[in-house]
Amino acid sequence: MSRFAYVNGRYECHTQAMVSIDDRGYQFADGVYEVVAISNGYPVDLAPHMVRLERSMAELHFAATPYKSALCVIAKQVVRLNRVRNGILYMQINRGTASRNHLFPSEKTGPSIVMTSRSGLGPTEVQAEQGVHLAMLEDQRWSRRDIKSVGLLANALAKQKAKDKGAFEALLVNPDGTVTEASAANIWLVDEEGALVTRPLGTDILAGITRARVIALAQEAGYIVKEKVFTVGEALSALEIFLTGTTTFVLPVVQVDDAVIGNGHPGEVGRDLRYRYRAFLEDLGPESWHVD
């Protein structure tokens, strides 16, 4: 089946869709993006994804930004055209097309909009049941990780280096020995008191949409959630570690480099929260497309 993409006002065959070589997203990584999970044909937390997208554009001082209601109409059509029931929706907004210059183009320059969608969602059941390994790496990304920028080279290098080490993901560490996040997910631990710990929001991590959802689900279930900075030592001695993200859901971690986490098997807390998150996905309905 042919895949379709939306590019600047046109729905086109995925293999023929293109942007200008003068697009600032291509020239300068001057763009932002969102990846939205599609579960049973419905978007997962589309409204907060749109809020984060608008914030990213504002932080990069985009002069012209598309209306989120229009983006949602496009998004729904892209998912429909690609017949995606369980997969992802990718949306990218660049500052626009202009002659190459480090300075921002005229405020009359309209943004570039690209959307695609494909099937395939979440880690495999084997990965979820067995847990995954992380490789500890220095966090070498830029200092505004709260902006969901398309400038992902450092993330890609970390992910590849982790793979080369035989790991599923990277555990990124600041020079002061504190843990930030993974290359494409937020990191959590369960401390000796059974409380959930995740790094507080700031410019050093991305405000994960799944992270926020899991906080709500955990608190609803009676778990204590602590948003605080934690060290590598605290992570390695934790009862459990798990990841959260759009494409990872809640994913238990059983090993970091050579250090075994807990008893080397997915812990009860991570497994429970994964179950609760999956139950949340099953309850999605048509109202999930509404963002106002």
Measure the CA–CA gap between 22 and 34, rounded to whole angstroms.
22
Strand partners, 173: 138, 179
Check residue 221 and report its DSSP letter: T
Instruction: Tell me if 92 sits within 8 A of 149, measured CB to CB.
Output: no
Is residue 148 among the annotated active site residues? yes
Question: Could you give the count of Cα atoms lying within 13 Å of 112 in the half-sphere of its Cβ?
Answer: 25
C-beta of residue 69 within 8 angstroms of C-beta of residue 292: yes
Residue 103, phi then psi, degrees to nearest 5: -65, 150
Token representation of residue 230: 């934690």
CB 125 within 8 A of CB 110: no
DSSP state of 262: T
The amino acid occupying position 121 is: L
CA 213 to CA 208: how far, in whole Å?
9
* Neighbour-count burial for 187-200, b at 16+ CB within 10 Å, e otherwise: bbbbbeeebbbbbe
Contact call for residues 218 and 273 (beta carbons, < 8 A): yes
Catalytic residue from among 148, 159, 161, 165: 148
Alpha-carbon distance of 153 to 84, in angstroms, equals 28
* 196 φ, ψ (degrees, to nearest 5): -85, 135
The helices-and-strands tally (H runs, E runs) of the chain is 8, 14
d(CA 280, CA 210): 11
Query: Which residues are annotated as catalytic?
Result: 148
